[in-house]
Amino acid sequence: MTTSQETDWMNHAVIRALVDQANTLALEERITLVKGLVPAIADALSQEEYEQFVTFIRLKGERYLEAKAHPGEGRAERHIPGERELEGR
């Protein structure tokens, strides 16, 4: 998790604690947890916002896997855009 002006208002310590606790679950349980969050997220977003959310989740995974496959190369060498690039931040 990173911070930016757009997320300064969030309680990052509480979110990090929830993420850390969720990461103690088995893989199948973590997947079920994420799937359980999706309906409430979809209800709170417009169709366009939901599509953007899904795209950002996919890109987050792709960027992680790219970084993991190329350790030490840094963000500048990555080919998969992140949220900030897509949002123009």
Predicted pLDDT at 8: 82
pLDDT in tens, 71-86: 887 766 666 666 555 5
Residues of the chain with pLDDT under 70: 1-3, 75-89
Shared domain check, 58 and 21: no
d(C-alpha 57, C-alpha 43), whole Å: 17
Q: Domain count of the chain?
A: 2
Same domain, 88 and 49: yes
pTM comes to 0.70
Angstrom distance (rounded) from CA 21 to CA 34: 13
Q: Quote the crossing angle between the two packed helices 47-69 and 27-44, to the nearest 10°.
A: 150
The label of the residue with tokens 């900030």 reads 84
Average pLDDT, the chain: 85
Q: What is the pLDDT of residue 58?
A: 93
Contacts made by residues 32-36, CB under 8 angstroms, sequence distance 24+: none
Residue 3 sits in which domain range? Answer: 1-38
